[in-house]
Amino acid sequence: MIRGTVYPMKHAHPNNSIHEESDRIGRGARRPDDDSDPRIVIRGESISTSPPSRIVTVRNSKSFIDFLGFTFFSDQPADEEFPLKDALTDIFNIPAFDWVRTKSGWQGYENRIKLDCYGLVAFGGLSQKQTIHVELSGTGCKQVEDWVLVHDWFETTDSRITRADLAHDDFEGEIANIANAIKWYEDGLFNSNGRPPARSIHYDFGSGDGTTFNIGKRGNDRYTRIYEKGKQLGDPKSPWCRAEVECKAHSKIIPNEIFLCPDDYLAGAFKAFQYLSTEQSKFLTIAKDREISLERVTKQGKSAYGKLVNLLCFLYENDYEKVINSLRRPGIPKSLEPQYKQLLIDTGIEP
Q: Is the pLDDT of residue 146 over 50?
A: yes
Tens-place pLDDT, residues 20-41:
333 332 223 333 344 433 333 3
Q: Using an 8 Å Cβ cutoff, are 118 and 139 in contact?
A: yes
Q: Are 108 and 127 in contact (CB under 8 A)?
A: yes
Q: Indicate yes or no: pTM above 0.75.
A: no
- pLDDT at residue 115, rounded to an integer: 96
Distance CA 335, CA 161 (A): 10
The number of helices, as runs of H, and strands, as runs of E, in the chain is 9, 10
Q: What is the pLDDT of residue 344?
A: 60
Amino acid 272: pLDDT: 97
pLDDT number for residue 278: 87
Q: Which amino acid is at 211?
A: T
Q: What percent of the chain lies above the pLDDT cut of 90?
A: 55
Q: Are 17 and 116 in contact (CB under 8 A)?
A: yes
Phi-psi group of 130: left, alpha or beta (phi > 0 → left; psi -120 to 50 → alpha; rest → beta): left
Q: If you count them, how many residues does the chain have? A: 351
- 340 or 209: which leads in pLDDT: 209
Q: Percent of the chain, pLDDT > 70?
A: 74
Q: Which residue has the higher pLDDT, 40 or 199?
A: 199
Sequence spans of domains, the chain? 63-166+248-276, 290-346
Helical segments of 109-227, H only: 138-142, 147-155, 178-186
Pairwise CA distance, residues 21 & 167, whole Å: 12
- Which residue in 65, 267, 254 sits closest to 154, CA to CA? 254
**Model pLDDT, residue 83:** 86
